Structure 1
Amino acid sequence: MSGGLHARLHVPGRLDAELDADPGSVVAVIGPNGAGKTTLLTALAGVVAAEGHVEVDGRSWTDPVVGVRERRVGWVVQGQALFPHLSARDNVAFGLRARGVRRAEAADRAQAWLDRLGVGELADRRPTRLSGGQAQRVTIARALVTEPRLLLLDEPFSGLDVGVAAALRIELARHLASYDGVTLMVTHDALDALTLADRVVVLEDGRVAQQGTPGDVAARPRTDHVARLVGLNVLRDDAGGFTAFRPQDVVVSPTEPDGSARLRWAGRVAGLTPHGDAVRVQVDTRAGAGVDLLADVTPAASAQLGLSPGAEVWVSVKATATRTYGGPGAH
């Protein structure tokens, strides 16, 4: 096979996964903590020893083994990891200089990327004089300036303010649209997976549990982690399957609802937050469903019910509004 990324990697006790991605594709890698997401990225980069094979653009990186420095990888990690003693421009130019590019050319190329990402005027500043969003833009410029064939993004918006993350997400999407390499992005944010990626790979216990388009994965989640990530309520059963339903299908009432076709639980309001045009109500049902459930109600209904933290309520959902996933015989 040629073009794009083709990998089959095994790290004992941590990862056993196969991954194919076409040139220009953006793959969101999601899964619970400890699922092997960062291990996958470090194995592809050659930082962690792994059995198997990695092929990028038709060239094997594992037979013979291509060293970390020789692999055409751009990497954006959590916390930026910029060199504190270097200016933004010199941070971006560092990878080029390490590859033998002359100082003046490296500086010009670094400046061009800083300009593209809207922080060109900050080129002479050191990382301590940059905001979190500015530093992350410098980090992305540093990853892209070397023209990598594999771009690895590990929680690229982690720790940023919501507004800063939103602006950077739009900026990154614009650059990825014209990038013909393969991008792998580890994220815990469904918004990243649904807006930036054209494919989603779900890892669980080091293995690929599901993959597909963002829409398919969100509509038919095969793990409870994915269901919760896309905002669904999830109830697990003893057989390993789970039932999911949307917060907007949950009814909140002060007394136990009637109707045999309803699933119902008693609980206490644990929190209320604005959610678009609705109020999202978090209900602690530990004595019933065993989990917190989410319900979306109108502001008028919230006021009429007198919802506030600690209020005792019933939550219910029609059986016809639920879907069951996983477990023996389920699809």
Structure 2
Amino acid sequence: MMRVEVDLPGRVRADVTAEAGEVLVVIGPNGAGKSTLLRAIAGLEPGRVQVGDADWTDLDVPQRRVGYVFQDQSLFPHLSALDNVAFGPRARGRSRADAERVARHWLERFGIADLAGRRPRELSGGQAQRVAIARALATEPEVLLLDEPFSGLDVSVQMALRIELGRHLSDFPGVALLVTHDAIDALTLADRVLVLDDGAVAQVGRPAEVAAEPRTPHVARLVGLNLVADGEEMIAFTPDSVVVSLHEPEGSTRLRWRGTIASLAPHGDAVRLLVHASPDLLADLTPAAAVELGLVPGREVWLSAKATAVSRYAARR
């Protein structure tokens, strides 16, 4: 098991635990403290870190059994793919031949053994990220840290790499923490999801639980839901359950909000509205309805939803 306590005023305050063999996906808005949490585990920021029976708190960075995949890969530009992956085992005292054997094994597992002699500038984004992940795993870390591993990649490359990474994570015996801004990563790779918001832990749970009952607007947006706080209660509902009108709707069974259209954009077969109400809300309607109502940015509208179409749950657990 791993436990990390981080208390950096104005940045992040979190007490996080994870079990060996578990993939903990960390999500939250920009500036929430996600990367800082990973850096604290790696020893690049202060924090108390316990891994199994070992206290890492006072250990220097090289002494920590951590594999780290950075957003920009951070591959050594003067080294080949093979030497990049072999660097970690070599730094831990293995012979050159043994380190290269380990590196070739990992390049083969990621299907890029034929790229062993290429330098980072000769690799595509997806190839470079595979090398970066292979380099992190080649050291046999106890903790694997992945900071936005799919960022900047084409959608098709993201999908392929996500499947590959999921396969490797299922075999990884240590603790894996993956920072992401994509709900697909949380739903497909996570055993548990940790939500950071404004530098604090806002929610922890299994992916389906977090998706069904989001407790922050950021998570609600990620899973495509509207979220309204009502005292000690949260109200969640889908954009397609929202009715858009130019006049205040009638009927006591409806929840209603008034706001200004911020944007309209295609969303599948529908048009999705972002409306600045209290709070901001999403609404889906047909293109024909949008034309008929004369909807344009800046126009005031009423949004409503039937009470039977919303999910209600406690704001905090």
TM-score of the aligned structures, taking structure 2 as reference length? 0.89
Tell me which residue corresponds to 1:39. 36
Aligned position for 2:98: 105
2:107 is matched with 114
8 Å CA contact retained: 2:259, 2:278: no
| Pairwise CA distance, 1:56 | 1.4
Matches within 5 A, 1:128-277: 128-235=121-228, 243-253=235-245, 257-262=249-254, 263-265=256-258, 267-268=260-261, 270-275=263-268
Change (3 A) 1:266 1:6: closer
Match of 2:117 among 121, 124, 128: 124
Q: What is aligned with 2:282?
A: 294
What's 2:306 paired with? 318
Following TM superposition, by how much is the alpha carbon of 1:234 offset from its aligned partner in structure 2, in angstroms? 3.0
**How far apart are residue 315 of structure 1 and its match?**
3.6
Q: 8 Å contact 1:272–1:309 — kept in the other structure?
A: no
In structure 2, C-alpha distance between the alignment counterparts of 1:273 and 1:112, rounded to whole Å: 45
Please report the TM-score for the alignment, with normalisation by the length of structure 1. Answer: 0.85
The 3 A distance-change label for structure 1 pair 75 and 309 is farther
Q: Distance in 2 between matches of 1:73 and 1:270?
A: 44
> Which of 255, 259, 270 does residue 279 from structure 1 map onto?
270
Identity %: 55
Residues in 1 aligned to 2:200 and 2:279: alpha-carbon distance in whole angstroms: 26
Q: Give distance in 1, aligned partners of 2:180 and 2:5.
A: 21
Find out whether 1:77 has 2:77 as its counterpart.
Answer: no
TM-align CA RMSD: 2.5
Does residue 25 in structure 1 map to residue 22 in structure 2?
yes
The separation in 1 between residues aligned to 2:271 and 2:172, in whole angstroms, is: 38
* Whole-angstrom CA distance in 2 between matches of 1:83 and 1:196: 28
| Residues 190-231 of structure 1 deviation map (CA, whole Å, 9 limit, x = unaligned) | 111111001011122332221111111121222222222221
Instruction: Write out per-residue CA displacement over residues 226-284 of structure 1, whole angstroms, 9 at most, x where no aligned residue.
Output: 222221123456x6975432112113456654433221546447222233xx4251233
Instruction: Specify whether residues 219 and 86 from structure 1 end up closer, same or farther in structure 2 by C-alpha distance, changes over 3 A only.
Output: same
Choose 149-158 or 265-274, whichever is displaced more: 265-274
Partner of 1:303: 288
The 1-side partners of 2:226 and 2:289 are apart by 24
For the structure 1 residues 305 and 171, does the alpha-carbon distance in structure 2 shift closer, same or farther, using more than 3 Å as the test?
Answer: same
- Are 1:57 and 2:52 matched, yes or no? yes
Paired residue total: 313
Question: Where does the alignment leave 5 or more consecutive residues of structure 1 unmatched?
Answer: none
Contact 1:88 1:122 in 2 (8 A): yes
The whole-number CA distance in structure 1 between the counterparts of 2:140 and 2:270 is 45
Equivalent residues of 1:269, 1:309 under 8 A apart: no
SS of 1:306's partner is helix
The offset of 1:101, in angstroms, is 1.4
